[in-house]
Chain A
Amino acid sequence: MSDLLPFVVSGLAVGAIYGLAGSGLVITYKTSGIFNFAHPAMAALAAYLFYYLHVDTTTPGPRLAWPIAAVISVVVLGPVMGLGMELIARRLAKVATSMQILATSGLALGILGALGLLYQNQTLSFRPFLPTTSFRVFGTEVGYDQLILFSFSLVAVVGLSAFFHATRTGIQMRAVVDNPPLLNVQGTNPNSVRRWAWVIGASFAATSGILLGPILGILGAGSFLTIVIASFGAAAIGGFSSLPLTFLGGLIIGVVGDISTKYVLNVSWLQGLSGALPFIVLFVVLIVIKPSRLRERRVAAPKPLRESYHAPPRVRLPFALIFIGLLAVVPNFVGTDLSIWMSGLTYMILFLSLGLLVKLSGQVSLCQTGLAAIGGAVVAHASVGWGLPWLVSVLLAGLVTMVVGVVIAVPAIRVSGVFLALATFGFGFFLQQMVYPTKLMFGSASGLAAPRPSWASTDVSYYYVVLGFLVGISLLMVALDYGRLGRLARALRDSPLALNTSGTTVTVTLVAVFAVSAFVAGIAGALYASSSVVVYLGTPLFAPLLSLQFFAVLMLVAVGTPWYGLAGGVTLEIFPYYLGKWLNITNFTPYMSLLFAVSAVAVALTAGSQGGVPAPLQNFYERFRRPRTAVTVGTESTRGLPVGSGLEVKHLTVTYGGFNAVSSLSLCAPFGRITGLIGPNGAGKTTTFNACSGMVHPTAGRVLYNGVDISNLAPAARARLGLGRTFQLAELWSSLSVAENVALGREASMAGANIVRQLIAAPGEPDIVARAAAEALRLTGTTALTTRIVSDITTGQRRLVELGRVLAGTFDVLLLDEPSSGLDTSETERFGDLLRLVADTRKIGILLVEHDMALVTRICDYIYVMDFGKLIFEGTPTEVMASEIVRSAYLGKSPVDVGIAKE
């Protein structure tokens, strides 16, 4: 055991810094709901300032003593950075998570760019400023610097935890995310509280940066960033919430990482383990931790992102031909710069792959360059090592990468938003640290040869090969965009819940988009490898941090498929090359990073108002759009009347942490009947709905559909059986049109759980969907809204669209959760008539949770009354109205007068 002590000592010192940096990150995330990807860059900035003040001998002026330099770097720079971040974060509170990631990652790139400009990318030697002598403890040398570092970090984190729990400001910081208005009412400005949190968080980042210096011995912004990013792993162990656990997580990562070096001393493929450990931890924690523990903290609901403008095909096609033509003549004009254009085309393909995830599906993936690296390595191994033909090798590269893409879909199934971004970010670093150096991938600093095909070995001929791939993949992306997977992906982006309960198994959709995206990324990597002729572990395109840049650029270009690919490739590879050349700036990269930073923050802060194509131009383009074909009107001749017993709930009990939300409830909702489910606030009505539709698992009891136990079926499977539902707060696909929302009500169940059916519609299905949607639009009176984007319509209209969606579907039992809220009196009356109509003519069973008792008593055939999770009465509306039990449940008032509050 004593032989482990040196590693424990060393690991505790490093781990304490992980913990310190992670704690700073957690405090800002807890209080602002914004995960600061710029946190590591802020640490680097402080370290560089410290270097400048204390070490740098190349600049004029005397050097400061280290305590003064440290105070300036932490006590001055830290708060300045924190105040600046608070100003930005306040404006980011209401934007989508992807925009928040864009802003903070843009800031990180900007800080790196600034450091690159100031220090010309030099690696600087960081002189130790803490005592390097040591003392012996149980035969192990313990450095005074290690002791100071650990003790300081421990005291800082313990002090912060105590501050959180024992002081008024600390308690306010804890409360600020949970209920800012309440804090405001109590006379405390939430912004002021958050400002303190940012100042503390940024100062922690600055401190960790300065303390890392002596450990690394050398200062390079990139290495700094990687080490501090490792603190994300510590924050993950702390559930991005607990400061003590985050610090403990840092210590665990530090100690285990150090001890691992002892045991893997001569196992070459495991040598990168200690460096990769934080990223492995980050990835694993995010795929094993309960998703409920990873609920995103948000100060305010995000404004939905407006979808990029899609011009009419009659405009898009000529533009496409013009661009292809322009790209085709590039070799005639660019001379020796052709290799840049070749590389640029592969960037475009990689952007297309990322766009499928980010733009279309709303999945923030930050490991796309890692996937490209896999493609690059595979094509090199396959074409040289295994002697496969080049085209086969490229295809194989895509397929192998696709398998990895499916692995990445695992966290996407469990988490989304910032946590998915973190999981994929960690995965990218894991690849670089542990897999790139092995024989599986590059295995040589000199690189792997990745020859071009013998039939296109010259630059010009190979350029046309890459262009051919670009055109083909662009067509594929446009087809996916317009096809079923595109519709499902958009729905997934806006509301996975609604998609799931409409009959599409979202897991399959996620796997499909990740797989297709990874396949294309692998192809891009393979083409890049062959354009460069050689690939190695340091190939610029394969750097994990570049994924952040790809994401940032993609978010900046507000145009549709496949134009964002074109724009991205030009922005990231071609434009900087020529700009740098024309401006005669040797190292243009830092300037580009600064430009990205400014653009990223500006775009993120104005998110929601972006449209990409100016409105006048959109209006002009719209003149070329063909009038939409009139929707087919009429009832579906193929739809038969349901037969069976409908929905039955038997002795249902749902318990949350010891609290019985529903207790032994039994009810039935047969076909052709409108069944009311009423009760006061907290009675358990929505929980019952959730249990019926599969969103919560019953603690006891069963849910039967036509006599078959469906208690263990997933929501999508229940929907496909015929169980449709609406939500208390309408769950619509906000960026889609009314017609698309309603049509997906039918198409979602057609896509089902079959990956092929999710990719392509079967013959005849589009007609069925169109007819079903037309009828539902007519029934709900929303035909006039067909082309309106859902985010632009009123709450009442949203209710009707949501109802239209379930009416378009093949649902025989509808669970309607307060469907009339937001409707005026006349709308409510028509709404009631409609429900009565579909129940009578289609023989659909309806289970209705509703607060409008007049509506309930008018249209319901039978009513169940719940209170405190239990069934207290059931009967006809007349019986319910007359019941003393029901009266007493409603505080003695006449049931007719009672408005049942929302749960």
Chain B
Amino acid sequence: MSIVRSRRRVSVRAALWVMAIPLILAACGTTTSSSKTTVTAVPTLTGTPLLIGSIQMESGPSITGAVTEGADSLNAWVNWTNAHGGINGHPVKLFVLDDKGDPAVGLADVQTLVQTDHVIAIVGQEAQTTGESWAPYTLQQRIPVIGGYLGYPMYFTNPMWYPVGGDVIANIWGQMKSAAVQGVKKVGVILCTESPQCASAQPLFESAATAVGMTSVYNALASMTQVSYTAECLAAKNAGVQALAAFVNTTVLAADCARQNFNPKWINSDDGPTVATIQATPALGRTVGSSEVWNCAGPQTAATAAFYLAMQQYAPQWLVGGSKYPQSAAGADCASWASGEAFKLAIENAVVAPNVTASNEDVIRGLAMFKNTMVGPYSPPMTYSDGSKPNPIAKCVYLYRYQGTKLIPVPGPTQYTCQP
């Protein structure tokens, strides 16, 4: 059992995210079972159903974590969409499979979705560790993978993988920018040692800090499994660090630093720590950061009302006051919704008549029409290829800061910031 994965899901996700950076850079330069959840098409919709699938890491011996947030919000999107006329008269039918963090199960899942369930797209995947094992199959079968967990390099190397949000390099810049706009001048970075790739991201943070007018005064590596970060805290404090980007166990780190009277701002990726984490470690209420996908943890706007209404109706446990809200993190719900909306836009672009059965090629055709296209308020401008080559990289991300347990989007809700 990996302690790395069991500490805190958001840490895991953040670490996976940062570990993926070099692979993406390289790309730019050049027992157990699965079970399914289905949402039945609404009877009033007479069009042929649009069959979509999603693979989620909901369980498994090597990971503990938030589990069903992505699937629940994807279900909410499907229900909401079907209740509001479907897509061009087509109801949406969703198949969700749990990969259990096991590559063999992940591969079986995607093959089941394609060969048995005949899905035409994988939408909002949250298979955070098995994607590599089934990505070649999606390319071989030309099944588009739309949005979801964006930490994989396949979004920029595999023509069938379509990101709905910015890339991880832009997100590093965004993280530094989120601290700079709060007046921070001196920044420190602690990266996990669980992989050399993670460690090798240090220069990216340094150059991003310089690019936003800050000085990187402290760089270190630490293990996510440490039970004490006293050494790191003291070194950062002595270096005059005002904000610390840390991809380790930030709960223990923040508590240790507070004990040494060192309370910097904390820089995070995705949508930051969970409410429960901040409640347990109040120092993390000083978190700033940046996310590749829109921040649904921020306040609702008129444009994003549909998301909140749908969640209120179909998955209220993940909204403020809901039973699972304190554990909600990592933006899986935001990403799921944005992915669903991107799929919807692709089908609308492809103009598939209600009596015609949509195919994966229709989805690819519809996605190819994205030319600086925003998925409503849920994404920055996205441009996709025609499915013959990898998709271009999006350089826009969403900044935020925390005030206690409250996430405040910067500069405002649904407003993205682009790397120059």
**Which of B1, B133, B252 interacts with A534 by CB under 8 Å?**
B133
Bound Cα distance A222, B2 (Å): 7
**Which of B2, B16, B227 interacts with A543 by CB under 8 Å?**
B2
Bound Cα distance A225, B62 (Å): 13
B228 within 8 A of A: yes
Contacts of B62 in A (CB 8 A): 222, 538-540, 543
How distant is B343 from chain A, measured CB to nearest CB, in Å? 22
B199 touches A225 (CB 8 A): no
Q: Given contacts A58-B323, A225-B1, A258-B228, are A272 and B193 in contact (CB under 8 A)?
A: yes
Contact segment of B230-238, B264-272, B287-295, B344-352: B230-238
B9 within 8 A of A: yes
**Which of A6, A122, A340, A539 interacts with B230 by CB under 8 Å?**
A6
Q: Give A212-262 interface residues, CB cut-off 8 Å to B.
A: 215-218, 220-223, 225-227, 257-258, 261-262
A275 touches B195 (CB 8 A): no
Total number of A residues with any Cβ neighbor in B under 8 Å: 97
Contacts of A539 in B (CB 8 A): 62, 103
How distant is A440 from chain B, measured CB to nearest CB, in Å? 11
B153 within 8 A of A: yes
A306 within 8 A of B: no
B259 touches A572 (CB 8 A): no
Q: Give A17-69 interface residues, CB cut-off 8 Å to B.
A: 57-58
**Which of A268, A447, A545, A577 interacts with B33 by CB under 8 Å?**
A577
B59 touches A121 (CB 8 A): yes
B108 within 8 A of A: yes
Pick the most buried of B68, B104, B255: most chain A CB atoms within 10 A of its CB: B104
Q: Give B45-73 interface residues, CB cut-off 8 Å to A.
A: 58-68
Contacts of B223 in A (CB 8 A): 271-272, 274-275, 433, 437
A589 touches B5 (CB 8 A): no
How distant is B396 from chain A, measured CB to nearest CB, in Å? 23
A215 to chain B: closest residue by CB: B227
Bound Cα distance A442, B67 (Å): 25
Contacts of B415 in A (CB 8 A): none
Q: Given contacts A340-B108, A538-B63, are A258 and B230 in contact (CB under 8 A)?
A: yes
Contacts of B256 in A (CB 8 A): 10
Bound Cα distance A232, B15 (Å): 29
B108 touches A222 (CB 8 A): no
A741 within 8 A of B: no
B9 touches A143 (CB 8 A): no
**Which of A6, A222, A262, A588 interacts with B32 by CB under 8 Å?**
A588
B4 within 8 A of A: yes
Contact segment of A124-132, A155-163, A394-402, A775-783: A124-132
Contacts of B112 in A (CB 8 A): 335-337
B301 within 8 A of A: no
Contacts of B276 in A (CB 8 A): 124-125
Contacts of A586 in B (CB 8 A): 35, 37, 58-59, 68, 98
B44 within 8 A of A: no
Contact segment of B181-189, B277-285, B383-391: B277-285
Bound Cα distance A262, B103 (Å): 37
A538 touches B281 (CB 8 A): no
**Which of A10, A14, A336, A446 interacts with B108 by CB under 8 Å?**
A336
Contacts of B259 in A (CB 8 A): 132, 134, 141, 143, 146
Bound Cα distance A800, B66 (Å): 66
Q: Given contacts A125-B277, A215-B227, A223-B3, are A446 and B152 in contact (CB under 8 A)?
A: yes
Bound Cα distance A260, B8 (Å): 24
A142 to chain B: closest residue by CB: B259
Bound Cα distance A73, B391 (Å): 54
How distant is B200 from chain A, measured CB to nearest CB, in Å? 9
Bound Cα distance A233, B370 (Å): 58
Contacts of B7 in A (CB 8 A): 123, 216, 218, 220, 223
A650 within 8 A of B: no
B17 to chain A: closest residue by CB: A445
Bound Cα distance A146, B256 (Å): 11
Contacts of B2 in A (CB 8 A): 222, 432, 537-538, 543
A577 touches B34 (CB 8 A): yes
Chain B 110-129, CB-CB to A under 8 Å as 1, else 0, gives 01101110000000000001
How distant is B406 from chain A, measured CB to nearest CB, in Å? 17
B193 touches A271 (CB 8 A): yes
Contacts of A573 in B (CB 8 A): 31-32
**Which of B6, B226, B249 interacts with A261 by CB under 8 Å?**
B226
A332 within 8 A of B: no
B355 within 8 A of A: no
Chain A 427-468, CB-CB to B under 8 Å as 1, else 0, gives 000001100011100111111010000000001000000000
B234 touches A215 (CB 8 A): no
Q: Given contacts A58-B326, A335-B115, are A437 and B193 in contact (CB under 8 A)?
A: yes
How distant is B315 from chain A, measured CB to nearest CB, in Å? 15
B205 within 8 A of A: no
B229 within 8 A of A: yes
A122 touches B1 (CB 8 A): no
A274 touches B228 (CB 8 A): yes
How distant is B297 from chain A, measured CB to nearest CB, in Å? 16
Contacts of A443 in B (CB 8 A): 195-197
**5 extra interface residue pairs, beta carbon distance < 8 Å, beyond A274-B225, A589-B31:** A127-B280, A217-B281, A265-B231, A437-B195, A576-B32
16 CB-based A-B contacts, threshold 8 Å:
A132-B258, A141-B259, A215-B252, A217-B280, A265-B222, A265-B232, A266-B221, A340-B108, A446-B23, A446-B152, A535-B103, A537-B2, A538-B4, A538-B62, A538-B129, A573-B32
The 3 closest A-B pairs by CB, nearest first: A580-B33, A217-B251, A532-B103
Q: Chain B interface (Cβ within 8 Å of chain A)?
A: 1-9, 15-16, 19-20, 23, 31-37, 58-68, 98, 100-105, 107-108, 111-112, 114-116, 129, 132-133, 136, 152-153, 193-199, 220-223, 225-232, 234-235, 249, 251-252, 255-256, 258-261, 274, 276-277, 279-281, 323-324, 326-327
